[in-house]
Amino acid sequence: MIGALLVAGASSDAGKSVVTAGICRWLHRRGVRVAPFKAQNMSNNSAVAISPAGRGGEIGRAQALQAAACGLAPDLRFNPVLLKPGSDLSSQVVLLGEAVDTVTATNFRTLRPRLAETAFAALAELRAEYDVVVCEGAGSPAEINLRDTDYVNMGLARHANLPTIVVADIDRGGVFASLFGTLALLDAADQALIAGFVINKFRGDLGLLQPGLDMLQRVTGRPTYGVLPWHVDLWLDAEDSLAYGRVLGRPAPPCGTEWLDVAVVRLPRVSNATDVEALATEPGVRVRLTVEPAEIAAADLVVLPGTKSTVDDLDWLRRTGVADAIRAHAATGRPVLGICGGYQMLGRSIHDEVESRLGSVAGLGLLPIEVTFDKRKTVARSVGTAYGMVNAPAYRMVNAPAVGTVPVRGYEIHHGYVSSADPDLAPLLTYADGRAEGAAAGHVFGTHWHGAFESDEFRRRFLTEAARLAGRHGFQAAPDTSFAAARERTLDLLGDLVEEHLDTDALWRTVMEGPAADLPFVPPGAP
């Protein structure tokens, strides 16, 4: 029994991640012991995972979501190689959760054997432990300029004998040419593993599409397992912040009489933009990603999210006028929130000999802190309480309970740390061991914790205070929004779509038995 599948894509953002998650949830609901896998991910959206030996590290956030679809905690082996772009020419290499090197076009071939060996070993371990491993490819398997060094698409499939399906996004247009061309640019041995296709994000009458599906099968000899519809509620845990569009999700009508408008700065190297998704699940909260200074200055709440390149993105803020817009917004007393790299930017100065290596640079000056970068990266899951404090006057939000009574969970991934702060600066959060974390200085807030706003009570109280500071006295936080439940609904929706719109019997046979033995070669093949 093969017990594995590779979900490849005709292009980037074809829907590989969500299709993989949907297949994982479908199998999990059938009682199959299933795990996700992506040999190499290139993304600044990461999550904290744990190795079998208990060591913490980073994996791609999409693989953390896929793990949840399988009913599993994130495991470092689910994404053994993570590349985090710091510029257009280089990326930090995270190997089994630990930052080990920087990769460029010139040294990739040197690093590739080590990366591939680690990925292949991780997949072998997972296949020995689980009934099925659903693997996700990267980009397109037909990137012919990269095939000789590939170990995440057909290079992985060939190494591990993985049956492969190719997903294409019909919303982009040219779906049949994309699927046919992807197959036709592979050599015979690669083509022999391509079992069939899935079309994603379809809107309209399936009857109009059927003649094309029939013709695609005639010219390739391979079936289309099904056509997944476009669905408005599939937006949580986006792999790439560019997938969001301008407004996140479908903002529900407010519980009170006013909306709360949240502007999130779309930084060039934004990381973990998913932090603001929890805000967007709240009724009456409109969250949009923007680079427009006018929108930022006019918003009720401005959020500076995380970034892989804090100093470079800070320079971008200044060059584009966004920094002035943030200061203008703060000057009116309306709230500003910084998360991780965004928090670091709000301080007086940043001392960086690690990431940008530019030494000391001035921050935005909205928080009385200084940040210093350390070569050691903090990667941890964090637990604590909100509005706790250490050696500082208590900061109390309006109608907040006693200090330290609101539980908060999050995770940390950062090189920078607060090396200096005013002694009377109140923290936003407090670790379980009593240490202070973050800052709450009137209407300016910051924290290194990602995921903190997934804690429902903390999120509600923060939004209530943000609305008060913005003068939105008619805003009322919903009393019962559960972010965890919203994520589970998304995963169940993905599983439902797979069950309803794919030929799951044929897909199961492919997973367990591999592709058909008589699949034809489609010329011209690899150049």
Q: Which of 402, 271, 406, 425 has the alpha carbon at shortest distance from 348? A: 425
Running DSSP on this structure, what letter comes out for residue 78?
G
Same-domain check for residues 319 and 227? no
H/E run at residue 120: helix 108-129
Do 496 and 473 reside in the same domain of the chain? no
| Token pair listed for 91 | 């990326």
Q: Give yes or no: residues 466 and 500 share one domain.
A: no
Structure tokens belonging to residue 159:
């190494």
Distance linking the first and last C-alpha atoms of the chain: 33
Are 314 and 345 found together in one domain? yes
CATH for 170:
3.40.50.300
- Is 152 within the bounds of a domain? yes
CA distance 496 to 419: 49
Domain assignment of residue 267, yes or no? yes
Residue 364 lies in a domain: yes
Of 515, 525, 523, nearest in space to 225 by CA: 515
Distance, CA of 333 to CA of 329 (rounded, Å): 7
Residue 421's CATH number: 3.40.50.880
Residue 69 CA to chain centroid, in angstroms?
15
306 in Cβ contact with 272 (< 8 Å): yes
Containing structural domain, residue 468: 256-478
Q: Mark whether 221 and 316 lie in a shared domain.
A: no
Q: Has residue 434 been placed in a domain? A: yes
Question: pTM of this prediction?
Answer: 0.89
Question: Per-residue confidence of the chain (527 residues) as pLDDT tens digits?
Answer: 689 999 999 988 889 999 999 999 999 999 999 999 999 998 888 889 987 777 789 999 999 999 999 999 999 999 999 988 877 778 888 899 888 888 887 788 888 899 999 999 999 999 999 999 999 999 999 999 989 889 999 999 999 999 999 999 998 889 999 999 999 999 999 999 999 999 999 998 899 999 999 999 999 999 999 999 988 777 666 655 444 447 788 888 999 999 999 999 999 999 888 899 999 999 999 999 999 999 998 999 999 999 989 999 999 999 999 999 999 999 999 999 999 999 999 999 999 998 888 999 999 999 999 999 998 888 989 999 996 433 333 334 444 434 447 899 999 999 999 999 999 999 999 999 989 999 999 999 999 999 999 999 999 999 999 999 999 999 999 999 999 999 999 999 999 999 999 999 999 999 999 999 999 999 999 88
* Total tally of structural domains belonging to the chain: 2
Q: Are residues 472 and 509 in the same domain?
A: no
Residue 211 in any domain: the answer is yes
Catalytic residues: 340, 450
> Do 397 and 284 share a domain, yes or no?
yes
| One domain, residues 328 and 186 | no
The verdict on 313 and 414 lying in the same domain is yes
Same domain? 184 vs 296: no
Cα 106 versus chain centre, distance: 27
Inside any domain, residue 521: no
Closest CA to 20 of 94, 76, 81, 79: 79
192 domain-assigned: yes
Are 14 and 163 found together in one domain? yes
Q: Are 5 and 159 in contact (CB under 8 A)?
A: no
Helix 61-69 × helix 16-29 angle, to 10°: 20
The answer to whether residue 411 is domain-embedded is yes
Q: Are residues 193 and 228 in the same domain?
A: yes
